[in-house]
Structure 1
Amino acid sequence: MKGSPSVNNATFRKFANWFFVRAAGPDRPRIHEPHGIFPESRRLEAQFDALKAEVEALMERRSIPKYGNFDPVRAAQVSEDWRLYYAYMFGKSNELARRDLPTLLAFAESTPNVVNAMISVLEPGVALPAHQDPYFGFLRYHLGIRIPRVDPPHITLDGQQYTWKEGEGVVLDVSFEHEVLNDTAEPRVIVIVDFRRPMGFFAGLLNRYCLMLKRKWAPQFVDAAKYDVMHQV
């Protein structure tokens, strides 16, 4: 299935997004301190050294797939050069991640509100132009793994900026427009974990239903990691 969940069921998704925004409130923060809204993140941060070692070993062993390999529709809107390795997608585990990223996969599988878990690599000169996530039912946790020390990259989210730091977590509301540029000579590497947006009962129920429908897209994302070719671009 070489389509994209970002354009699937557009009318229904528009209604769901409207409902989620009403439930979350118009003054919802753009950037969150993670431990209040996603307290489970403490468990992942406590394993930072093991997680970082696994990510570094993975990047030494193989190339990380480009976004265009598994979601060409969305990649054309954001960036075909953004590199992503999905360990967990819409409740489906990437079995390769049991070898490659066991710490991240175990965290995702043992945390019920986690939707997706992945490694994100932004190489030197790669930009993600202004865009917003097409689905508003989750918030996005970032954990810095490898961050350039000189003029480190930052994300601008609806006018607010956050600069990544190694070992530091943050939660972003990517329903707002955001953009990134890695204007350094080194890659920026982070862990991304999407988790269900905290909302009331009915919005939460709708969110669970929508995410269940999205599970059909999971194989397209996790299977991209099967192209395990040493150091190929």
Structure 2
Amino acid sequence: MTNSTHRATISELVDTARMALLPGGNAATAVIALQEALLQAPRDIGLILFLGDAQHAAGQRKQAGQSYGVALRLASQIASSSIPPGIQEALNRAGDRRNEYARQYEAFLRSKLTGGGESSRFSESLEILFGRRQIYVQQPTKFYFPGLPQIQFYNTDLFDWAADLEAKTDSIRHELLNVMADEAAFAPYLPEEDKTSAHVRSVPLQGSLDWAAFYIWQDGQKVATNAARCPVTASAFDKVPLDFLPGQAPSVLFSRLKPGAHIPPHCGLINTRLIGHLPLIVPGPAWLRVGNEVHYWKEGKLVVFDDSIEHEAKNEATETRVVLLFDFWRPEITLPERQQISELISAIAEYSGEAVARES
């Protein structure tokens, strides 16, 4: 393509590629020419798209997909109004071809899977492999405990106390309705003065009753007057391994979300506990996203999730949604580890003057 006395210009290399792509030409020669041209202009979107087209013509589908991907990413960084029509047409073609490559890849892989009845985990692995789901992992903002499984939503059959708690739904809801008759009983879930919450920097709900709470347990202490108003609710946790951390956890509360209220994506403070939701009032579509999975609350059906994985929630119904929210020890953590974690979290809070483990 070049010799010691003359280095081909981009224009000459492009002409070589065009000739090579004519009927009877050699597409592989076009690929080589365009690769050399890109050494001189590595961020030229037109050249990259042309290379992708040449690789497609040469049957190099994997390489073409990579080239098209680079061009699409570069184009996404500039205003669409500044992209010439010819380049935009080529970008559209690149996107279509990448989608077609992805369909062919998926069809090939699925044709090799002979077993039936895929597990939910295997199905999720395919969704991630094919780019339809993102990978999310634990990212607690205050304290990370290693070696724990990355599970977004837990199967509630794992917890021997879950069925008993669900069986109390009607009685707990009755107590909730009595509390809700007193509007003053609820306070903002995120108090205006709270500077320790993981939500403070990103949630417009701080100080708002759109997301409100009525605590049975708060910051590791039973709220005696509230527990007396809701005796069934207070006693429902006698068998639940609440994560006792002096001055910080557990919390057990009625969590109220008004119509349209949205809790933006965030991660909890620690990953040594799980969060439980017992839905009590779900008047319409209301959802919780944890990682790459969205769950719609159903009254009386317990939900358990890892709040150290990015999550968000929204009440899309026209009426208020209320769940009984609580935090408890992860089952993978041993009793000696619980004691050590409790002592450590308390020491961190004492030194820093800030709570480390309040629920999110």
Query: TM-score, structure 1 length as denominator?
Result: 0.75
Residue type of the alignment partner of 2:280: I
Q: How many residues align?
A: 198
Q: Which runs of 5+ in 1 are unaligned?
A: 1-12, 222-233
Q: How much does 1:39 deviate?
A: 2.2
CA displacement 1:158-186 (0-9 Å, x = unmatched): 11111000111010111100111222211
Q: Residue 85 of structure 1: which of 202, 205, 214 is its match?
A: 214
CA distance 1:41–1:207, change in 2 (3 Å) = farther
Q: Name the counterpart of 1:178.
A: 311
Residue type of the alignment partner of 2:216: A
Q: Residue 209 of structure 1: which of 337, 343, 357 is its match?
A: 343
Q: Distance in 1 between matches of 2:341 and 2:320?
A: 34
Q: Secondary structure at the residue paired with 2:177?
A: helix
Q: Name the counterpart of 1:94.
A: 223
CA distance 1:207–1:160, change in 2 (3 Å) = same
Q: Name the counterpart of 1:138.
A: 273
CA distance 1:91–1:72, change in 2 (3 Å) = closer
CA displacement 1:161-217 (0-9 Å, x = unmatched): 110001110101111001112222111100011101123435433333245556998
Q: Name the counterpart of 1:32.
A: 154
Q: Name the counterpart of 2:331.
A: 198
Q: Which runs of 5+ in 2 are unaligned?
A: 1-140, 244-249
Higher deviation after alignment, 80-89 or 163-172: 80-89
Q: Which has the higher strand share?
A: 1
Q: Distance in 2 between matches of 1:182 and 1:101?
A: 25
Q: How much does 1:42 deviate?
A: 2.2
Q: Name the counterpart of 2:242.
A: 113
Q: Distance in 2 between matches of 1:205 and 1:90?
A: 17
Query: TM-score, structure 2 length as denominator?
Result: 0.50
Residue type of the alignment partner of 1:24: L
Residue type of the alignment partner of 2:154: H
Q: Distance in 2 between matches of 1:31 and 1:199?
A: 15
CA distance 1:209–1:164, change in 2 (3 Å) = same
Q: Name the counterpart of 2:298.
A: 165
Q: Distance in 2 between matches of 1:90 and 1:66?
A: 15
Q: Secondary structure at the residue paired with 1:49?
A: helix
Q: Residue 69 of structure 1: which of 184, 191, 196 is its match?
A: 191
CA distance 1:212–1:101, change in 2 (3 Å) = farther
Residue type of the alignment partner of 1:23: G
Retained in 2: the 8 A contact 1:90–1:211?
no
C-alpha RMSD of the superposition: 2.6
Q: Name the counterpart of 1:147.
A: 282
Retained in 1: the 8 A contact 2:257–2:320?
yes
Q: Residue 147 of structure 2: which of 7, 23, 26 is its match?
A: 23
Is the radius of gyration larger for structure 1 or structure 2?
2
